[in-house]
Structure 1
């Protein structure tokens, strides 16, 4: 079965629904009903075939789907292990996709910097073995091939300038006057961390925090015990952190959360993060800081990768893919827009019998609804309200092209239900 997303949704348009209750209070939400859940299409497919389907269904974040799905399949191989070296190659791919996605947002404050970082992200993706739009780097239990030495050297040669450019973008956003986004103080932040407890977009554990205080940490295998959907299978499933219940357990994911759960591990980004935490804590600057962070990590990563490849027999990485055995597993990555979770249940023949894919857009829908509601309540003029609604959508960043639209060009449809 083939889906043409353009036949289901208008990628240049968004619909905001404002419901007015009997007391006159407004409740706003972003309409996700046109965004299909694709899990049903994967049932009955071989695990590898299903993963390719999800990669191609999302042209905006194919790398995140590639890596989250592959991490789920890794856990269903014979020993569930991936070599450190293969993880490094995958990490470079993930970093490249984050820089690529965020760089498009930087053109508004520094056009030259945004274009330069976009070009450098392509070198990162090529260095990780995925030169095309759709990734081909990972396979169950490893990667398809080692990076070419010349491609890695191109990353090494350009990474220092890219770090300086990203720091310039961070400064540009820091100088932009802005108001702190008003959100519920009860909302949780959920993001990945590394073994030392630092925020890590390619980490191996989850951290849940509120206002900077750690609530809980857990592994990938506990994801479906800790995170549940209030409306299972819905495009807007209203997920929540189970130990706190549906209302107190509402959470958000993405760059704001990535900077809110702990201290970054690189010098320049950590300094910028400290300033951000004392300021407006907006998503635009958070994206720039995360980009700076992954570029600093890239500088360390590619140098080590070059050295390790000199010492490694290339034949060891291109062996046949590990066979998939029966079981259930979840794979996660912290992508440009936040946590993406793939859960697969596979039978003895390697066929998927059940699948759940929870996207950042679906997880952030309650947060976006809160932002939109506050915008609808505080802005009464049509122009002011439209601008505030647009700002809310850019903040939560649903996975649609409209999130990158210039001010006044988002093409919002506003439906008001009930008495004004």
Structure 2
């Protein structure tokens, strides 16, 4: 396992294989500088989010950030951390909810506990000192929880208070993630005193603000991964509670929520990250120069242009549909084939082979009704708020784009199937 990663342009296929890792996090540099692999996208909605965060506010803002799988949400949240104006105004942290709880069985109480836990732990990790009175309050709250659920007890008493609270948060998070029975118990204890947990979070926030003179900003990744029903329960049914922490928060939310009636409850604070437009809505044979240039830059900052034939480069971009993760997937698969051929350059045949691999995956999961809907959308390009269309959007069999209005088209690799 690699503990660090040097973001260097690849000069050979071995290095390029690393650079196109699908889950490679584009973290800011040690001094907050922008990651070398980060690229600006046309009309980036993250600029709107940045402006909104920098605007004056009465209460710390909450935003609901979404987009389809592979469009770059995680990358944009990490990039937000490197914004100097954001750093001046906020004390920002970013974390993945997968690190704190079971993403398959997630609940609003898990998210709130994770917020409090990460604020406390990150502040201590960065050398911050919280006041003794707050540590005593946290220790008292910790004792109440441990009294109800003995399995959360760490079993050691030699810690000073701050370390004891940190150990409790770590242990509680681990139990939430790995032990379903304890997870149910913890949730019940939190539910019985949800105002107590909110107060704990807000006291931590107030202490950090008092010390840093900056309001904490929490960027939470992968809270968009739960299915629509869980997303509804967290961000619609419990919306008021999720707005209670007295810090700025950006929640990632499921794109399916944007196609449901419950979207109305978050629409004023919602931002959607679309895919990159490669063609106008009415002619797939006309290239959008800005879109192709953006995707080409995505490749050129990761590997030297000589490693891929220009025709193969254009075909890879076309097949990607303007989805960054899909482009990385296609190129990485093509790199594997080129390496096996002992070649020095990715050719068109390598890209076609990668596209066929993706097409074969879809053949296994798409039924006749799916294919009929895909054919229909290929003709009319219209979004419909149906369960089947939501599923196809989640699968990336359909890709959404935005000009003046929203529209969608089939994934380019599927055109040969239709």
TM-score by length of 1: 0.26
Higher strand share: 1
Structure having the higher Rg: 2
